Amino acid sequence: MPLSTDYVSKTPDATGRFAYSPEENAVWSDLYDRQMVLLRDHACADYLEGLRKLDIDAQAVPQVADVDARLCAQTGAGVKAVHALIPQDEFSTLLSERRFPVATFIRKREHFDYIEEPDIFHECFGHCPTLTNDAFCRFLEHFGRLALDLGEAYSERLFRLFWFTVEFGLIREPDGLKAFGAGIISSPEELVWAMSGEADAVPFDLMTILRTPYRIDIVQPIYFVIDSFEELAGCLATDMRTALDKAEKMGDLPARFETAA
Ligand SMILES: [Fe+2]
């Protein structure tokens, strides 16, 4: 997540609704249409089913309150409108409550292909459908509690696990590798690259992930593949403090990118 942004989240009206201009709705609709062409073949089944269950609007930016109510009915999960970027503790607290933070602004057309900041397309289109899977929600809830318990000293390494799964994870399905990470699902550029067959996709391995550095401002040079969301939820049964200490002691694997931004 970037440290700063020029984008500002919107202010709701007295009924909790957010107003979007015709151009903002057009950006949403164009993003939605462009992504769906590929996602029908390349998104995981739970994502596609979740998109249907949440009845995410293809034509206009959805209202956070509507998505929240529909999610709650599915898995007891929810979303909360937040400022564009929030402190990590606030982020982890929301996860631990099975709630996902949603910035309410939408990217400008000049950032159509790629945006570092998480906008509402990334949050609602990218993340929310998979929150209809209970095992995935259990993972997020547990991850949030762990992040709070372990504190800042472990944060950077722990969030590699979030990055390589919730943001950029792939899952193996009977007919091939599919995307579930919101950073792939919501980014035209990342989705094309991740599904090109040229990207490196390796089996999920907790210790490898904890030792793999990443950059937020490039398409990812490596993706990790889970076999199921139960596997993902189950990985947190590990003593994470010990695993993180071990990863620290073993050191990072060589970066697969230029380290100077
Ligand atoms: Fe995200």
Residue 258 pLDDT level (bands cut at 50, 70, 90): confident
Report if residue 17 sits inside a domain: no
Residue 226: closest CA among 154, 149, 148, 168: 168
Q: Considering the domain boundaries, does residue 3 fall inside one? A: no
**Higher-confidence position of 254 and 78:** 78
Q: Which domain holds residue 174?
A: 22-250
**Residues 71-127 pLDDT 10s:** 999 999 999 999 878 999 999 999 999 999 999 999 999 999 888 889 999 999 999
Note the pLDDT tens digit of each residue in 59-72. 999 999 999 999 99
Q: What is the mean pLDDT of residues 217-236?
A: 96
Q: What is the pLDDT of residue 1?
A: 55
Torsion angle (degrees, nearest 10) of CA 221, 227, 228, 232: -60
In a domain, residue 55? The reply is yes
Percent of the chain predicted with pLDDT > 90: 87
- Banded pLDDT at 9 (limits 50, 70, 90): confident
Q: Examine the pLDDT at 260 and tell me if it is beyond 60.
A: no
Residue 152 has pLDDT above 90, yes or no: yes
- Distance (angstroms) between ligand 1 centre and the Cα of 85 equals 11
pLDDT at 85 (0 to 100)? 82
For the chain, the straight-line distance linking the first and the last C-alpha, in angstroms and rounded, comes to 14
14 is a domain residue: no
Residue 27 lies in a domain: yes
- Catalytic residue numbers, as ranges: 122, 127, 167, 186
Q: What is the CATH number of the domain that holds 204?
A: 1.10.800.10
12 belongs to a structural domain: no
* Alpha-helical regions (H) of the chain: 22-42, 45-54, 64-75, 88-96, 120, 134-150, 152-162, 182-185, 188-194, 206-210, 229-234, 240-250
What's the rounded Cα separation, in Å, for the pair 100 and 126? Answer: 12
Q: Classify residue 57: in a domain, yes or no.
A: yes
Looking at every residue in the chain, the average pLDDT score rounds to 94
Give the number of domains in the chain: 1
- Between the CA of 123 and the centroid of ligand 1 the distance, in Å, is 6
176 CA from centroid of ligand 1 (Å): 24
pLDDT digits (tens, 9 = 90+) for 169-198: 999 999 999 999 999 999 989 999 999 989
- Is position 256 within any domain? no
